[in-house]
Amino acid sequence: MFYDGEATDKFVPQLAESWTVSEDGTVWTFNIRKDVKFHEGGDLTASDVAYSFQRGLLQGGYSSPQWLLAEPFFGVGVDDITGLVDDFASADDRATLIANDPAVLKAACEKVKAAIVADDAAGTVTMTLAQSWGPFLATIANGWGSVMDKEWVIENGGWDGSCDTWQNFYAMTSAENPFTPIANGTGAFKLDHWTPGQEIVMTKFDGYWGEAAKLDRVVITDITEFGTRFAMLQAGEVDITFVPAEYRAQVDPFVSEIRVYNADTLSYEAAKPVCTIDTNKLGFDRFEICDTPNDRPLRLYMGRPGLTQDVLIFNFNIK
């Protein structure tokens, strides 16, 4: 599933058409959509879904976001598969993990497989958590909850699904991961090519299960210098660009209307036209709201709360 528009507490179906949860909040059952194709031609199955989550938990390591999924399945405080094997002694260390008793390694894998079970005939995946977990849907509605084609992963050098081999793929870095430069999803766009440091090009996927994409091609260009990006935005050569905070005043004159976040409703208020902008001011005060629409090209969303931290956490990596 994925977030419902701008909401952070509502979700809409994607590859799971629907889902249910037990009264105690520990057992989630997902009904997997039928007739979904992967970009490389494979058919999506419930087993692909279960395998993808099992693989994520077993490959673990703290260099990837998979640790976010570990505590719901393993228990509070156990944020990596090595917590089940050797009390984290081999965390982020594949060689040390492999040196553990094979029976212990196999038991950890079997625990993961028992917690995430597919039924291809029924088209369901059942996930059993160690305890109820309030943000579970919010956690899996992200990129690390994406589903991969099991057969394609194995063909391309990934984990074969066996509890005898999973440790060989633990804590894999991006540099050694065979799936860093390639992709095989189920979305409206498929990867055409990626030239590191230059561009990513995606093309419309005609076999998409949902509403067809309205564009034939999307190009994401790597342009590090903001002045160049800004000039392309001014010329209408780009549709979206990243604007660092220190350069926002340069882009303000292109804003035609703003939508302000309402913390009471957890949503943005209706768009309001902007008449003039005082770039010498900060925050909401720099915009003068009026009733007359204009033809400037950008809409600005403002006021959504972000994450803040006012403490320094003890870190063993500080030298």
Establish if 311 belongs to a structural domain. no
Q: Kindly tell me if the per-residue pLDDT of 286 is higher than 90.
A: no
Average pLDDT over residues 181-193: 96
CA 208 to chain centre: 19
In whole angstroms, give the CA distance from residue 274 to residue 294: 8
Q: How many domains does the chain have?
A: 3
Establish if 308 belongs to a structural domain. no
Same structural domain, 108 and 214: no
Q: Kindly tell me if the per-residue pLDDT of 4 is higher than 90.
A: yes
In tens, the pLDDT along 122-131 reads 999 999 999 9
Establish if 319 belongs to a structural domain. no
Establish if 182 belongs to a structural domain. no
Establish if 310 belongs to a structural domain. no
Establish if 79 belongs to a structural domain. yes
Q: Kindly tell me if the per-residue pLDDT of 289 is higher than 70.
A: yes
In tens, the pLDDT along 201-246 reads 999 999 999 999 999 999 999 999 999 999 999 999 999 999 998 9
CA 274 to chain centre: 34
Same structural domain, 124 and 195: no
Establish if 152 belongs to a structural domain. yes
Average pLDDT over residues 49-65: 94
Give the structural domain span for 82: 2-169
Same structural domain, 117 and 7: yes
CB–CB of 139/69 below 8 Å?
A: yes
CB–CB of 167/105 below 8 Å?
A: yes
The CATH code of the domain that includes 98 is: 3.90.76.10
pTM given for the model:
0.89
